[in-house]
Structure 1
Amino acid sequence: MNLQAVLGFVFTVFLQNSLADDPTPQQWTPIVMWHGMGDSCCFSFSMGAIKNKLNASLPGVYVRSLQIGDSIVKDMENGYLLHPDKQITMACEIIKNDPQLANGYNAIGFSQGGQFLRGLVQRCPSPPIKNLISVGGQHQGVYGLPNCGTLSGTFCDELRKLLNHAAYVEWVQRTVVQATYWHDPLNETEYKQSSTFLADINNEKEINSTYVTNLQSLDNFVLVKFEGDTVVQPVETEWFGFYTPGQSQEIQTLENSDLYKDDRLGLKAMNESNKLKFLSTPGNHLKFQWDWFEENVVDPYLKNA
């Protein structure tokens, strides 16, 4: 073998070894995000900042932040005025038509986006959601509205008064998003009969076995509660807890509720199979340190998915 052939052989072996030692870029599972009340998909100070953080933690990950409507302003307005059923239908179409999500995705819902994404899991299972992370979501509803996001104080005051006195009036249920997950513990019968969204996805009206099957298809359902939350009432709703029926002081945990005991959503089975995760962090509503989020959410549920 001549010198040129020897050098060629050595170079080929070196190149092959070099390529073997150089890992291919990580193919992260795509992420879908859904913002909360008073927010929008793409504000640089909220969802945009979180998207940048995710891209820093998971270089090259595809992140789709849901915009419900034809503009950022419309997206924010729809968070107050477009019934969740219509929003979930729109979100389902957006996701189905996104080729980058065709093989499945992880989902992160912030505040009311948490229960909307759960509704999406239950009603729109394809493409599949692998891990659902609910950050401050109100899964047993709210009984109180102390904060309305970015809108004016006057608007918030009027909205609060309306919900306190007329949440279950038909036209209010049709036109005010927050009324659809208003949960009056003093009148459980009216809530179950008149709630047009939450009572449905929580199987309060009748048992929809498809909802149970679709929810149980998740790899993990992660519930993040804010220990210092002064916005959500009661804060335990972020872990599926709520007021004990008939009063508004004593808190009933998920495990002590009929929702869990009767396993109407399959949550008991999910908990027993270690699919239901309960996380908590100090701070007020949606106020968390990225280091904490990266360690407790990104690394175990987004990086390894």
Structure 2
Amino acid sequence: MWLLTAVILSLALSTQCFAGTRNLIAINEETWTDLLKGEWMVEFHAPWCPACKDLQKAWHAFADWSKDLNIKVAEVDVTVNPGLSGRFLVTALPTIYHVKDGVFRTYSGPRDKNDFISYVEDKKWSLTDPVPSYKHPNSPHVKDGVFRTYSGPRDKNDFISYVEDKKWSLTDPVPSYKHPNSPQMTVVAWFFKLSMFVRDKHNYLVEEAGVPSWASYSMFAGITLALGCVLGFFIVCIIDRVFPTGPQPAKQDRKGGKKDQNKKNKKDEQKKKDDEKAQHSQEEKGSQEGNLLFDLSFW
């Protein structure tokens, strides 16, 4: 009898956990743009984070209310998706965003299920300023592409209240320069991916290939310097082509050129006249000498 009861309870608990997991959407590098449409609550977490583990129960319970609240609840594992942590500038874990129509707001309220529900239902997110455009990452609490960072209590009731009461409307959206879909945040995401790629390769060389750490560091340093030199060479070539710095052939002024040409022509004419005069004088001199000889011979 006790065994049957235990089995039934375990099945009920596993079914409940499965339902919570089923309603919770996992966001990755390929699907994060889904946050730009509709209303979302998104949590950034890591498996090694104790605070994230404490929040999981409330977050999964809040996810069970997502259909009733007409909102989508999601999570992002920053260890699997480092590019998203860079794109959203996640500096603390767990970080929760409210997103509505692409406008992001940071949730900073209580971390309880009821608080989350009240935050959405009462539109408390409208009291929070959106994330600036240059930081817009398109993820936190998102509704219609507007992101807000949730910084309230971390309980299922707090989450439900945050959505149900629309407390997210009290939070300023993420600035446009931080928007996850902005070009600058895309570049940051690529840098994060590159750093994780380099780290993985270093770990592979040291742990599996048996390469000494100093040799691995030296290799990456040499590659970095070589790429920097090649890139710098191409940049310098492009700049020299677009903005030449060498001595430019002086362009003669049209008026000055004409004056110089006129002077040259005058000199040539004067020289020609002088030559003609000299030749004429020589002819006259020769004629006079011939006449003199003729006179002498006559006499």
Larger Rg: 2
TM over 0.5: no
What is the TM-score with the length of structure 2 in the denominator? Answer: 0.22
